[in-house]
Chain A
Amino acid sequence: MSQFPPIEIKRSGWQLFLMTVIGRSYPRVVGMQRERSWLFFDVFLPLLSVAAYVFVYRAIGAPEDYVGFVVVGGAMTAFWMNVLWSMSSQLYWEKEQGNLALYIISPAPMMAILLGMAVGGLFATLLRAIAIIAVGSLIFNVTYAVSSFWQLIAVFSLSMVALYGLGMMSASVFLLLSREAWHLANLAMEPVYLVSGMYFPVKNLGFWAAAAASVIPLTLGLDAMRQLVFASGPTLGFLSVETEILILIILSVVFVTSARYLLAYVERLAVREGRLTENRR
């Protein structure tokens, strides 16, 4: 009798796409929570920098809502870190590990692999962000005044689509940069803290700087969320929430579509130049 009969069903099309997304998100949904040290590194440490800003704002007598701004900003920073370190530079690491070649030679669409990475990263980071908000709000006594729950959901979801779309898009670019990828990610980390207004209202940058910073989806997402959850939010907001939602929609479409084309382009280029496998082989 045959030990290894042929596989009866191999799914394709949208079913394969979905299975791939689930498969690739699994290491992040399950694996990343396996070691408890994430509570320290991903929740406690970010809370420390939040605390630093809170003390400064309190010392200079800033409006009390600024404390809430910082807590929400601290939570959203987690998403930026995740996109930078686990999306943009991810394909590069996957290449070094040898996973990228296996993804490419499989029948799974690369967009599904990237989406799986994003969904998994989003889930793992959501846990961390919720923990930061919960603990931060408790410690610093933040009071929220949510004006529109549905708009809040919409803004958050759109920011995530746009942000992870940006991550998917830059993943392909980083892939081509190989070793420089790590430096680039490092370089992108700090300035974004500043311009996206993680720890202060982006309006304070002045109109043009704030407008430029809006290319990073986190900027407008954060600004809109603050307007929606704090009493003094609307007065400190950069643009109206409706405008910001509209821009976020545009950013989402642009980033996700570019990700798709860029990925196909980069794959073709890398196959031609022999850059899909790590340098040793």
Chain B
Amino acid sequence: MSHPLAVKTENLGRIYKIRNNRKEKQRELVALENVNLEIREGELFGLLGPNGAGKTTLIKILTTLLAPTSGKAWVAGLDVTRQPAEVRKRINMVSGGETSGYGLLTVRENLWMFAQFYGIPSAEANRRIKKLAEIVGIADRLNTKSSDLSTGLRQKMNIIRGFLTDPEVLFLDEPTLGLDVGASRDVRSFIRRWMDENPHRTLLLTTHYMVEADELCDRVAIINQGRVLACDTPAHLKQNLRHEVFFQVWVVAPHLLEDFAFLQINGVKHFHQSPEEDSLRLDITLEEEAVLSEVINELTAQSARILRLEKREPTLEDVFVQLVGQRMEEVENVAVPAD
């Protein structure tokens, strides 16, 4: 095989049965539906989608924590439901905001403990812990009790735990969740380095940060409501939008603008306003540049004064909008199911 598959799913689906209290009737929630993915060995693959899209559910199935209700999945060529023990030798997983380990133990001790569960001899484990800690920038905290760590430092410890066992396939579920800009950058550059170093490593990460998926991933699957809507390299995904024009406009207006009036203009594909500190930011997608003049007319009609206007390159956010019809944050604000 020239390109062995690190991950493959075939019509994968998961339905949760939920019941909020004893009296209520059981409902079914489709968390994943008909997911077909193929991730090659050596790929850094991103799953991008809003809250509740099914990203974590997919990761749980691939890491043998959850059985699918339909379809099949393979990791490193092994069936996750039939050969979980074999799969487990080859994987590891880190989730954002994880509170794993024991607070009474130091960072080093916690990491050493997890290495034991993978059969890594202590000397080797300690050597790797030290090296990884230096790279991630918590070498001076190895002897701190993990209960005394800040959220960011704790997440760095978790990240080390994932890489420590040198898995063939590593799953990172929102690895930069809750990290500040600097720390996120550190983590991303480390992930890239680790991948570049050995062509046999495969990494699947989920995120709902567009930039993270765009900058980091070789290929991205966009997932919403349990379905994969598109799967390609970030460049290709964005290339599909090459006929469209994207503008960002900052305006001052007496009140929120009437979206409707803009969407009625022929050639306006998408219009979204978000209030910023002392202006309104408008994200506008046009079929062609010529439509801009009509948009400006409408702005004037609604007494909005333009502060700044920028033409910009399409982003994965635009790809998402094209596929779903809404921005990711809009989807997230609406689709909060009552728990």
Interfacial residues, chain A to chain B (CB-CB below 8 A): 2-4, 6-12, 15-16, 19-20, 22-24, 26-27, 30-32, 34-35, 97-99, 101-108, 113, 271-272, 274, 276-277, 281
Q: How far is the CB of A6 from chain B (nearest CB, A)?
A: 6
Q: Is the Cβ of B88 less than 8 Å from the Cβ of A106?
A: yes
Q: Is the Cβ of A106 less than 8 Å from the Cβ of B64?
A: no
Residues from chain A with a CB closer than 8 A to the CB of B16 are 274
Residues from chain A with a CB closer than 8 A to the CB of B118 are 10, 16, 106-108
Residues from chain A with a CB closer than 8 A to the CB of B271 are none
Q: Is the Cβ of B65 less than 8 Å from the Cβ of A2?
A: no
- The reply to whether the CB of B197 lies closer than 8 angstroms to some CB of chain A is yes
Q: How far is the CB of B100 from chain A (nearest CB, A)?
A: 5
Q: Which of B33-41, B102-110, B278-286 is found at the contact surface with chain A?
A: B102-110
- The reply to whether the CB of B311 lies closer than 8 angstroms to some CB of chain A is no
Across the interface, A105 reaches (CB within 8 A) one of B88, B98, B112, B121, namely B88
Q: How many angstroms from the CA of A101 to the CA of B56 in the assembled complex?
A: 13
Instruction: Please give me the residue from chain B that is nearest to A23 by CB atom.
Output: B116
- The reply to whether the CB of B194 lies closer than 8 angstroms to some CB of chain A is yes
Q: How many angstroms from the CA of A31 to the CA of B145 in the assembled complex?
A: 10
Q: Is the Cβ of B105 less than 8 Å from the Cβ of A98?
A: no
Q: Is the Cβ of B64 less than 8 Å from the Cβ of A104?
A: yes
Q: Is the Cβ of A27 less than 8 Å from the Cβ of B113?
A: yes
Q: How many angstroms from the CA of A149 to the CA of B102 in the assembled complex?
A: 38
Residues from chain A with a CB closer than 8 A to the CB of B91 are 105
Q: Is the Cβ of A7 less than 8 Å from the Cβ of B104?
A: no
Across the interface, A11 reaches (CB within 8 A) one of B102, B121, B163, B166, namely B121
Q: Is the Cβ of A274 less than 8 Å from the Cβ of B66?
A: yes
Interfacial residues, chain B to chain A (CB-CB below 8 A): 16, 56, 60, 63-67, 85, 88-89, 91-93, 95, 98-102, 104-105, 109, 112-121, 124, 128, 131, 135, 161, 163, 165-166, 193-194, 197-198
Residues from chain B with a CB closer than 8 A to the CB of A102 are 93, 100, 114, 117, 161
Across the interface, B65 reaches (CB within 8 A) one of A15, A97, A105, namely A105
Instruction: Please give me the residue from chain B that is nearest to A3 by CB atom.
Output: B197
Residues from chain A with a CB closer than 8 A to the CB of B67 are 271-272
Q: Is the Cβ of A106 less than 8 Å from the Cβ of B114?
A: yes
Identify 13 new A-B residue pairs, CB closer than 8 A, beyond the known A274-B16, A276-B66: A3-B135, A4-B128, A4-B166, A7-B128, A9-B120, A10-B120, A20-B117, A22-B116, A30-B109, A107-B88, A271-B65, A272-B67, A276-B65
Residues from chain A with a CB closer than 8 A to the CB of B99 are 97-98
Q: Is the Cβ of A105 less than 8 Å from the Cβ of B64?
A: yes
Q: How many angstroms from the CA of A94 to the CA of B88 in the assembled complex?
A: 19
Q: Is the Cβ of A107 less than 8 Å from the Cβ of B119?
A: yes
Q: How far is the CB of A178 from chain B (nearest CB, A)?
A: 14
Q: How far is the CB of B108 from chain A (nearest CB, A)?
A: 12
Q: Is the Cβ of A99 less than 8 Å from the Cβ of B101?
A: yes
Q: How many angstroms from the CA of A99 to the CA of B98 in the assembled complex?
A: 9
Residues from chain A with a CB closer than 8 A to the CB of B66 are 271, 274, 276
Q: Is the Cβ of B102 less than 8 Å from the Cβ of A105?
A: no
Contact of A35 with B104 at beta-carbon distance under 8 Å, contacts A26-B109, A104-B65, A105-B88 already known: yes
Q: How far is the CB of B332 from chain A (nearest CB, A)?
A: 16
Residues from chain B with a CB closer than 8 A to the CB of A12 are 89, 119
Q: Is the Cβ of B163 less than 8 Å from the Cβ of A4?
A: yes
Q: How far is the CB of A29 from chain B (nearest CB, A)?
A: 11
Q: How many angstroms from the CA of A10 to the CA of B93 in the assembled complex?
A: 18
- 7 residue pairs A–B, Cβ–Cβ below 8 Å: A3-B131, A4-B166, A7-B124, A22-B116, A23-B117, A98-B95, A113-B117
Residues from chain B with a CB closer than 8 A to the CB of A277 are 60, 65
Q: Is the Cβ of A107 less than 8 Å from the Cβ of B120?
A: no
Instruction: Please give me the residue from chain A that is nearest to B161 by CB atom.
Output: A102
Q: Is the Cβ of B113 less than 8 Å from the Cβ of A23?
A: yes
Q: How many angstroms from the CA of A19 to the CA of B102 in the assembled complex?
A: 18
Q: How many angstroms from the CA of A7 to the CA of B89 in the assembled complex?
A: 13
Q: Is the Cβ of A24 less than 8 Å from the Cβ of B113?
A: yes
Residues from chain B with a CB closer than 8 A to the CB of A19 are 116-117, 119
Q: Is the Cβ of A4 less than 8 Å from the Cβ of B198?
A: yes
Closest 8 CB pairs of A and B: A23-B116, A11-B119, A31-B104, A108-B117, A106-B117, A16-B119, A27-B102, A19-B116
Q: How many angstroms from the CA of A69 to the CA of B246 in the assembled complex?
A: 83
Q: How far is the CB of A14 from chain B (nearest CB, A)?
A: 11
Q: Is the Cβ of A281 less than 8 Å from the Cβ of B56?
A: yes
Instruction: Please give me the residue from chain B that is nearest to A276 by CB atom.
Output: B65
Q: How many angstroms from the CA of A98 to the CA of B193 in the assembled complex?
A: 28
Instruction: Please give me the residue from chain A that is nearest to B56 by CB atom.
Output: A281
Contact of A27 with B92 at beta-carbon distance under 8 Å, contacts A106-B114, A107-B119 already known: no
Q: How many angstroms from the CA of A10 to the CA of B161 in the assembled complex?
A: 16
Q: Is the Cβ of A7 less than 8 Å from the Cβ of B116?
A: no
Residues from chain B with a CB closer than 8 A to the CB of A106 are 88, 92, 114, 117-118
Residues from chain A with a CB closer than 8 A to the CB of B124 are 7-9
Residues from chain A with a CB closer than 8 A to the CB of B60 are 274, 277
Instruction: Please give me the residue from chain B that is nearest to A11 by CB atom.
Output: B119
Instruction: Please give me the residue from chain A that is nearest to B14 by CB atom.
Output: A274
